[in-house]
Amino acid sequence: MTMREVTGTSDYKTGDTPSPRRSLVRRLAPVAVIAALMALVFATGLHNYLSLTALAENRALLGEYVASHMGLSVLIFAAAYIVAVVLSLPGATILTIAGGLLFGWFWGGTVSVLAATAGALGVFLVARSAFGSALTARAGPWLDKLAAGFREDAFNYLLFLRLAPIFPFWLVNLAPAMLGVKPSTYLIATLVGIIPGTFTYSVVGAGLDSVIEAQRAACGGAETCAFDLSVSSLVTPQIIAAFVLLALLALIPPVAKRFLARKGKPDNTSNAAG
């Protein structure tokens, strides 16, 4: 007889199985950190720098720094982009335009795609861990049916949401986590889906210098110039229409699949009549 049998001790430690309360705290801790950082950003007014006006006013300073520290500038830009996406700040488009302005449309677009995908994956994993299982357990019939339909063609539906310019980026980051989409599907659909829009805005950014110079000329060459820049003034209706068409193309496979499945079902009415 061993000493462990005599004393009645067990191989299992008391803390091996976390309590439900501790598990809940562990799941919600990342959400609390993100919420605190969001509050800090808005309280300090840092979000105000995510604007085309701020970009135009600091164009010369940013250009000089990038020219002197190219590698570090790319890392700082990518980190800032990831943080902005994780905190769901309304500035992803501005950052993409800034990337095209500072690094050229190709490298600016490439870094933006990778950083946006990394940030979106971070939000997805946090939301999936914190709310995904709880939402699934409490889902009603309607939500459960919606989730099942979304998961059936998750890639194409998510591709549609990424391509269509009418859905906020942060919302598309969260919704798939609530509907049980696989991380691999989410990652690939996000990476592919944001490429057209990201490179379009990067090209817009690469041509922003001419817009800035035109407004400086309108100010008579004054050092301080009140810039009047907005994304809506730079993005044409033709660009928006192209995004919509790409999004509709992404819906063709699931719609065709449902049509063929319905067409292949036996006609119960005719069978009963026969």
* 80 is a domain residue: yes
Assess if residue 58 is contained within a domain: yes
Q: Which domain holds residue 163?
A: 26-37+46-259
Determine what percent of the chain falls in helix, strand and coil, rounding each to the nearest 5: 80, 0, 20
pTM: 0.76
Residues 144-199 have pLDDT tens digits of 665 666 777 888 888 888 888 777 888 888 888 878 788 999 999 999 999 988 99
Q: pLDDT exceeding 90 applies to what percent of the chain?
A: 27
User: Is residue 154 situated within a structural domain?
Assistant: yes
| Residue at 274 is within a domain | no
Q: Are 88 and 170 in contact (CB under 8 A)?
A: yes
- Conformational region of residue 180, where left means phi above 0, alpha means psi within -120 to 50, and beta covers everything else: left
Cβ partners under 8 Å of residue 55, min gap 6: 62, 94, 97, 98, 101, 208, 229
- Residue 224 inside a domain? The answer is yes
For residue 211, being part of any structural domain is answered with yes
The answer to whether residue 5 is domain-embedded is no
Instruction: Tell me the helices (H) and strands (E) count for the chain, helix number first.
Output: 17, 0
How confident is the model over 228-265, as pLDDT tens digits? 666 766 766 666 777 777 777 777 776 666 666 666 65
Q: Work out how many domains the chain is built from and give that number.
A: 1
Average pLDDT of the chain is 78
Look at residue 246 and tell me if it is in a domain.
Answer: yes
Kindly indicate the confidence band of residue 90, based on its pLDDT and cuts at 50, 70 and 90. Answer: confident
Q: What is the DSSP letter of 236?
A: -
